[in-house]
């Protein structure tokens, strides 16, 4: 406890509050990174089998490419999807008949990646398609933000614990 006395309990409160503020900023950065890097295509309609839609997205090497497909309207359907690398290599294929599917992959090269979604049977089908590029710093910002939040709350807890002990010591010494 000698270290705490030298540092001063008021600094625990101030440093804890500062760490919480920094964590909120890091969480905000990560939310903006996700929001700004996702391409949304709502109510994409497929009327016949074999119809495809494609979306291109520029991705830097090392970033996470993520996409999800959600069925809005339709019955008796089958959907397939895949990514094309900038060099034209097919990767990350998904076939599904459920209500949604999602996948992610880390980009091995920088360039325009293409998501292709195809309806495999004759039925009226409507999909929502989300395709995005999650920067590598986004995951780091969440981890650092959460860590700083926990440390900040811990420091504020230490401050109030020290303050309570000092008040108890004063009340025992001088009476209530």
Q: pLDDT digit string (tens) for 120-142?
A: 876 777 788 888 777 767 777 88
Q: Work out the end-to-end distance of the chain between its first and last CA atoms, rounded to an integer number of angstroms.
A: 24
Q: Choose among 50, 54, 63, 168: nearest CA to 109.
A: 63
For the chain, give every domain's residue range: 9-37+136-167, 38-134
Q: What is the pLDDT of residues 47-103, one digit of tens each?
A: 777 788 888 888 888 888 888 888 887 666 788 888 889 998 888 888 877 778 888
Please state, in angstroms and as integers, the Cα–Cα distance from residue 126 to each residue in 45, 56, 68, following that order: 4, 20, 14
pLDDT, position 142: 81
CATH of domain 38-134: 2.60.120.380
pTM: 0.61
Query: In which band, very low, low, confident or very high, does the pLDDT at 1 lie, cut at 50, 70 and 90?
Result: very low
Pairing of strands 90-96, 79-84: antiparallel
Give φ, ψ of 87 to 5 degrees.
Answer: -90, 0
């Amino acid at each position: 406890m000698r270290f705490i006395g030298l540092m001063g309990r008021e600094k625990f409160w101030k440093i804890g509050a500062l760490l919480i503020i920094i964590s909120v900023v890091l969480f905000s950065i990560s939310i903006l990174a996700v929001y700004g890097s996702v391409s949304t295509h709502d109510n994409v309609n497929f009327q016949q089998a074999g119809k495809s839609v494609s979306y291109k997205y520029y991705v830097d090497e090392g970033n996470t490419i993520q996409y999800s497909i959600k069925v809005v309207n339709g019955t008796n359907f089958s959907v397939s999807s895949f990514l094309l690398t900038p060099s034209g290599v097919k990767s990350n294929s998904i076939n599904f008949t459920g209500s949604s599917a999602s996948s992610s992959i880390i980009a091995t090269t920088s360039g325009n990646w293409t998501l292709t979604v195809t309806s495999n049977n004759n039925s009226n089908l409507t999909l929502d398609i989300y395709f995005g590029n999650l920067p590598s710093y986004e995951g780091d910002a969440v981890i650092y933000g959460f860590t700083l939040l926990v440390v900040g709350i811990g420091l504020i807890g230490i401050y109030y614990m020290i303050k309570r002990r000092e008040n108890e010591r004063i009340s025992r010494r001088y009476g209530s």
